[in-house]
Amino acid sequence: MRLKKVAAKYDERSNKVLVPFSDSLDTNIRNFEELFTDCGDLVKRKFPIGKNKDVWAYIAYIDVMTDRRVIEESVLEQLLVQVRGVGKSLPDTDEDKFSFIKDGGFATADLKDVNTMDDAVLAVLSGDTVIFIDGYEKCIVVSTKGFPNRGVQQPDTENVIRGSKEGFTEAFRINTVLIRRRIRDSKLKVKQIQLGTRTRTDVALMYLDDLVRPQVLKEIEERLSYFKIDSVLESGTLEQLIETNWYSPFPQTQVTQRPDKVASAILEGRVAIVVDNTPFVLLLPTTMNCFFQSSEDYYQRWYVMSFVRVLRYCAAFLSFAIPGFYLALTTFHPAMIPTSLTFSIAAAREGVPFPALIEVLIMELAFELLREAGVRLPTPIGNTIGIVGGLIIGQAVVEANLVSPIIVIIVALTAISSFAIPSYSLTSAFRIIKYLIIFLSAFLGFLGFWLGILIILTHLVSLKSIDIPYLSPFTAREVNNEDLQDSLIRMPIFVNKLRPVFARRGSKVRLDIDEKGEKNVFTKQ
């Protein structure tokens, strides 16, 4: 049989192999191995099956991507010892032979037939093992995935004092298991798709079937089907592609590395998007209120965490408002400053050759450089650069009369406030809008300051995340009254009996306490 050129086996648009299987094993092997030309990590072997070497088979897999123990004990040992070694003869008909090999030649339940070369190639590249059998226009795929991974470790982006220390990894199936381990409900669905014509990245939509809003799930699925891209290497790619308000600095998708946070979100009726090769999971829909919530908020006493949450909201405002407020006050409205403080600021700025705006920009940009350098360098060096560099630069610029000491204090307070926000994505948004407030305040005073605040609020009110208002429940109190109990203040657990706005109607109740129990437990003195 003449072999077609390899170029004819591909659909350039979908990057799929179009050549079908042949009933000749040698032809299938040639077609298969041409696709893996110059792939030194492909392990392959041709061997006979049956007492009289009735049928020849061919096995192939990618080295290190598979579990060698499963291949040797559940596949090769069964085929070479249990079938051939005990002297069994295969049945006479072709279909009976194939069924005999499939049913009695493997000590594993996770196997399937595939009918196209593209499916066989994808299985091998996904870490599975394929077995071609002579005389059959299909092959058997055995699940033997055994990717090297770093295992379940503590998340390094969302640290907590009390709570789970497990974090997601780059292994797709481990991440889905970490979620299912926390929600032992058959209604937890894992709808799996592949995105990326070349990477064919596994993506899973995880949700509770009786809690998620059908229109929300449909909208997410449609947005994932709108685009066709050659690679999806990280969840950030999907995050940017499915956002409708791409021009906004505010994230419309919540990102987390904690399985307990994802489980909590799913139990509220939200959808989790798990992407292979990344430890970051996307949560949709989301509101701005979600970014101020931490897993630890629900593991400690309500009045303590309510105080902390109010502190976070205040810190978020200070993280972008302090520099602009200082510029408006000192440049346009010095009469509002107490006389003694005015003299202190004037004395501190004596000898500084730059206006206040340039001072603020110098220190803000210097701190941004220090922050970026600390992130990119190895951890021990990065910590040293952040602390020592900040101290040295701050002291040096003050002694050189390039900036005043009050500016160093303001920039440091702004940075500390930004670190109190639990979400890095939201922090990045505040880092950007801070400069809008700075320039408006520097040129228009308090008019510019409040104009900037008004622009930000107007923009936030107009934002939506999968048809959910971004500022909910503050902008829709009559609809989401129950959400206010878990917003600025985190009320006690026994008060939050209803799920937030994300859940479908009719499935709002998540805590039910009978009158006797409520009276005895929560009102007993």
Contact 375, 382 (CB under 8 A): yes
pLDDT band at 182 (very low <50, low <70, confident <90, very high): very high
Which of 5-14, 46-55, 109-118 shows the lowest per-residue confidence on average (mean pLDDT)? 5-14
Contact 133, 55 (CB under 8 A): yes
Residue 252 has pLDDT above 60, yes or no: yes
Residue 402 has pLDDT above 60, yes or no: yes
Domain residue ranges of the chain, discontinuous segments joined by +? 6-142, 172-286, 302-469
Residue-wise pLDDT for 136-165, tens only, equals 888 899 998 887 777 788 888 888 888 888
pLDDT band at 93 (very low <50, low <70, confident <90, very high): low
Residue 243 has pLDDT above 50, yes or no: yes
Residue 388 has pLDDT above 70, yes or no: no
Which of residues 411 and 514 earns the better pLDDT score? 411
Average pLDDT, the chain: 84
pLDDT given for residue 12 in this prediction: 55
Residue 282 has pLDDT above 50, yes or no: yes
Residue 465 has pLDDT above 60, yes or no: yes
CB atoms within 10 A of CB 247: 7
CA 511 to CA 493: how far, in whole Å?
A: 9
Q: What is the pTM of this model?
A: 0.86
Residue 37 has pLDDT above 50, yes or no: yes
Residues with Cβ < 8 Å from 206, sequence gap 6 or more?
176, 179, 188, 189, 190, 191, 262, 266, 271, 272, 273, 274
Residue 87 has pLDDT above 60, yes or no: no
Cα 524 versus chain centre, distance: 44
pLDDT band at 516 (very low <50, low <70, confident <90, very high): low
Antiparallel, parallel or unpaired: β 281-284 and 271-275: antiparallel
* % of the chain at pLDDT higher than 70: 86
Q: What is the mean pLDDT of residues 265-273?
A: 94
- Identify the burial level of 301 via C-beta atoms within 10 angstroms of its C-beta, where 0-12 means exposed, 13-18 middle and 19 or more buried: exposed
Residue 481 has pLDDT above 90, yes or no: no
Inter-residue long-range contacts of 104-110, CB under 8 Å, 24+ positions, other chains counted: 104/78, 105/49, 105/78, 105/79, 106/74, 106/75, 106/78, 106/79, 106/140, 106/142, 107/73, 107/74, 107/75, 107/77, 107/78, 108/70, 108/74, 108/75, 108/142, 108/143, 110/142, 110/143
